[in-house]
């Protein structure tokens, strides 16, 4: 039986992937609660890694030290750095850690998995872009910062975990893939600085920022709607992958 590790940052992304499968089992690895969807040919492990590269590295090292996977996938939401619509599927060919200092910071995705995922999306008529990703250590919430990264990197997608997962996959010599859906666009500001929520005691500051700028609630509602669309597409993506794996396995 082939096992695929699907790593996600947040519970919203985990819920979206989970809905692609029926009745997953709950498992714990090193204190990390995972869901395992057992399907013919493939066991799909849904693994919450937390937000940001440091949490992603720590979680991946714990899980991959105890569980063998044929391939690991970075799943969830992404910012589109090119022309795209909310909910479009982005498949990575490689990923670079922005601001990497000295250590290796660029990781290739498995060409076989890129093509496998592309064919699964094509069969289900899902809109797909294929190209490089960039991982950053903090939330880029201003459009100007997103555009600056897009112009410099020439990438199609932006996230906070894929390069970290690619690092650990390379350490373990496990094929690596990125399959995400678009939740925000390069030319739009996020409603507030979400980095506030990632710091110790940051929720109080984040709530304070919302109260100080009530118009941010309009932006939060827009982002909630966009995330709902991206989540529904993420479910469709992994349902398509699960269906293909039943008949063909995973390359």
> In whole angstroms, what separates CA 208 from the centre of its chain?
28
Burial of 131 (0-12, 13-18, 19+ CB in 10 A): middle
- Kindly report the number of other CB atoms within 10 A of residue 36's CB atom: 16
**CA distance readout (Å), 70 to 6, 39, 64, 110:** 11, 15, 11, 11
**How many CA atoms are closer than 13 Å to the CA of 69, on its beta-carbon side?**
28
So where are the chain's domains?
2-248
pTM over 0.85: yes
Helix (H) or strand (E) segment spanning residue 184: strand 176-185
What is the reported pLDDT for 251?
A: 66
* Tens-digit pLDDT string for the chain (251 aa): 799 999 999 999 999 999 999 889 999 999 999 999 999 889 999 999 999 999 999 999 999 999 999 999 999 999 999 999 999 999 999 999 987 555 568 999 999 999 999 999 999 999 999 999 999 999 998 999 999 999 999 999 999 999 999 999 999 999 999 999 999 999 998 876 767 766 555 444 444 444 455 555 566 788 889 999 999 999 999 999 999 999 888 86
What is the reported pLDDT for 216?
A: 59
- DSSP letter assigned to residue 194: G
What is the reported pLDDT for 202?
A: 44
Ordered DSSP codes for 55-90: HHHHHHHHHHHH---SEEEEEEEEEESSS--TT-EE
- Kindly report the number of other CB atoms within 10 A of residue 241's CB atom: 26
Q: How far is it, in rounded angstroms, from Cα 191 to Cα 216? A: 5
**How many CA atoms are closer than 13 Å to the CA of 171, on its beta-carbon side?**
16
What is the reported pLDDT for 108?
A: 97
What is the reported pLDDT for 135?
A: 97
Q: Which CATH architecture has domain 2-248?
A: 3-Layer(aba) Sandwich (3.40)
Q: How far is it, in rounded angstroms, from Cα 92 to Cα 129? A: 9
Helix (H) or strand (E) segment spanning residue 39: none
What is the reported pLDDT for 196?
A: 72
Q: At CB < 8 A and 24+ separation, what contacts does 169-173 make?
A: 169/60, 169/64, 169/72, 169/107, 170/104, 170/107, 171/61, 172/64
What is the reported pLDDT for 184?
A: 95
**Contact (Cβ atoms closer than 8 angstroms) between residue 108 and residue 178:** no
């Amino acid at each position: 039986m082939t096992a695929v590790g699907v790593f996600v940052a947040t519970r919203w992304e985990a819920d979206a992937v989970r809905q692609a499968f029926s009745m997953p089992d709950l498992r714990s690895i090193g204190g990390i609660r995972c869901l395992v969807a057992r399907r013919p040919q493939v066991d799909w492990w849904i693994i919450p890694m937390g937000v940001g590269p440091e949490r992603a590295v720590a979680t991946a090292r714990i899980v991959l030290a105890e569980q063998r996977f044929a391939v690991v996938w970075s799943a969830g939401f992404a910012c589109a750095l090119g022309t795209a619509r909310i909910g479009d599927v982005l498949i990575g060919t490689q990923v670079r850690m922005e601001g990497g200092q000295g250590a290796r910071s660029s990781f290739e995705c498995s060409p076989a998995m890129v093509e496998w995922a592309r064919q699964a999306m094509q069969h289900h008529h899902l809109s797909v872009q294929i190209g490089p990703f960039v991982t950053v250590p903090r939330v880029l919430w201003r459009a100007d910062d997103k555009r600056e990264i897009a112009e410099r990197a020439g990438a199609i997608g932006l996230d906070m975990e894929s390069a970290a997962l690619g690092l650990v996959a390379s350490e373990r010599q496990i094929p690596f893939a990125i399959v995400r859906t678009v939740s925000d666009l390069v030319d739009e500001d996020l409603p507030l600085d979400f980095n506030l929520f990632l710091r110790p005691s940051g929720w109080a500051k984040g709530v304070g920022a919302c109260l100080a700028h009530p118009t941010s609630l309009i932006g939060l509602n827009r982002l909630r709607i966009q995330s709902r669309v991206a989540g529904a597409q993420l479910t469709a993506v992994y349902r398509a992958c699960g269906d293909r794996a039943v008949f063909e396995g995973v390359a």
